[in-house]
Amino acid sequence: MNDDEQIGSATLSATGATAPVAPVVSAATAAQAPAAATAGADAPIMSVAAAIETLFDYLKNVIYYPQRAQLDPESLPADFVTFAQGLLYFGNSVAEMRALADDIARGRLEGSPTSPGNELASDLKSLQATLKHLAWQINQVAKGDYKQRVSFLGELSEAVNNMIVQLGERTASLEQTAETLRENNDMLIALAEHIDQWIIVLDRASGETLYSNRETGETLNDPVEEDRLRAWLIERALNYNASSDERLIKEISFDEAGPWDVPGPNRQFLQITLNPFTWQEHKALTFLITDITEEKRRREELESVAFFDALTGAYSRHYGMNLLEKWLAQGECFAICFVDMDNLKYINDSFGHEAGDEYILSVSNKLQSGARATAMGGTGLGSETEASASGSATEVPASGDARTDETATDAEVAGPVCVISEIVLSRLGGDEFMLLCPGWSKQEAECWLEDVRSQLVAESGDECQRSISYGVVQADGKAGHSGSELLAQADELMYEYKRSRKMERRATLP
């Protein structure tokens, strides 16, 4: 009820009726009361029946048509004034209650204020208070406070408290899980940051970097290469095709593949492993990039020791024998030459090991250069055309430095393999060599070795004759003998040759 209405009620109550809103009556208002009562007395007197009907209509309107509910107590007979005031108070209380109920129904919990003392609205206000508290309670839960409880609200308390307890337990469980995940994630991040490899994950649709455990520049020696490497990785990611040419894991050595095989002090070899996967709905490609430069250098050193003779640069016995067995297993046709240097012991004993080494090198070089010239220059030998046509008739390496990367790479991957167009020289022991001549006949090999022998003899000084003895066995591509057996046969032929030469020399002695 507003102030005007209360003043009006107070005025009417001054006529003698009980005032329902007495606390707001002011002295000034009370002083005006007799005049108002007098004015009412001058108005036409409403009949009792009409007054009852007026009051009934007002009550009806209060219940059903609140907008029309109007009542002027002064227009009623004096005996009805107090009752009318009571009805007005009731109507006002009901209107306030309705407004508050409407606010609550619409979730407006601040609601319309009610007049002090409106006891009809008190239960609604209690409900309003409960809902406000529940709203606060829910907000507390939303911000993670599960300590509050709703008490003395019957089933509502039970339901809300049960919800809070369960949410609290679930949140605690989730937090525990999240903490565990966080710890695991931290460990993985720390692990990824401390491993030597560079891990970079790219989106296969956009090329966007989804994860990287370090900057590009931290992996490359040459910062200039950074942009090129990143562009290459993106290009690989965008064009990756898991269903066709790409395998699940593919390795790329940059000494073979990329623009990063740059000779010079910054030359760097990277090995890249690709692993496609789906991550958070992204089709992603992981690049695991390992700097293998140092590893490669060490491996080359080991291979040099294992596969090559340190003095001559010819292949080692181990390499040569493996290659021999391999060619035999493949059914290749080639000549196996066992070469023995004559008089090496005598030179060593007489002139020292330096002279002996020089002698070994001279024989080795002749065999290698002769073989090279034969293969490249063409001597009418059967292997020449085939070797040249294949485009891979490369030189027999004279030393570790001279060997081709192709040969070295094959050896790195699988040990000795058949490079069938090459003539391969191996040093078997102190004064023994083995030549494997693919496509050569026994006669062709013997002819050439005899030529080498003649050159050595011709170049010998007066102190001691330098020459070689040799035996050649033909491998005809048919199974039957092992490499060791064939080499033993060649060795035997070599001794026969050596003996026959000695016999010849003795026969020619005066």
Q: What is the binding site for another protein (CB under 8 A)?
A: 23, 116-119, 121-123, 125-126, 129-130, 132-133, 135-137, 140, 145, 147-152
Crossing angle for the helix pair 154-194 and 122-142, nearest 10 degrees? 20
Q: CA–CA separation, 392 vs 257, rounded Å?
A: 20
Find the shortest distance in angstroms from Cβ 153 to another protein: 9
The Cα 91–Cα 66 span in angstroms is: 9
Closest to another protein by CB, 116 vs 380, is 116
Q: What is the DSSP string of 248-298?
A: SS-EEEHHHHSTT---STT---EEEEEEEEEETTEEEEEEEEEE-HHHHHH
Q: Is 124 in contact with 109 (CB distance < 8 Å)?
A: no
| Closest CB to another protein among residues 149, 345 | 149
The whole-angstrom separation of Cα 498 and Cα 502 is 6
Residue among 133 and 250 whose Cβ is closer to another protein: 133
Kindly give the pairing relationship between strand 251-253 and strand 282-291.
unpaired
Report the SS3 class of residue 83: helix
Shortest Å distance, C-beta 128 to another protein: 9
Least spacing, CB of residue 127 vs another protein, in Å: 9
Closest separation between CB of residue 19 and another protein, Å?
A: 13
Q: CB of 98: closest distance to another protein in angstroms?
A: 17
- Nearer to another protein by C-beta: 148 or 394? 148
For the chain, what's the residue count?
A: 510
Listed residue (457, 500, 502, 482) closest to 336, CA to CA:
482
Q: Which is nearer to another protein, 113 or 259 (CB)?
A: 113
Nearer to another protein, 117 or 207 (CB): 117
Smallest separation, CB 134 to another protein (Å): 9
Which of 270, 271, 269, 266 lies closest to 224, judged by CA? 266
Provide, rounded to whole angstroms, the least separation between the CB of residue 178 and another protein: 20
Going by the DSSP 8-state scheme, the letter that residue 110 receives in this structure is T
Amino acid at 15: T
Angstrom distances, CA of residue 247 to CA of 241, 242, 274, 331: 9, 6, 8, 32
C-beta of 106 vs 147, nearer to another protein: 147
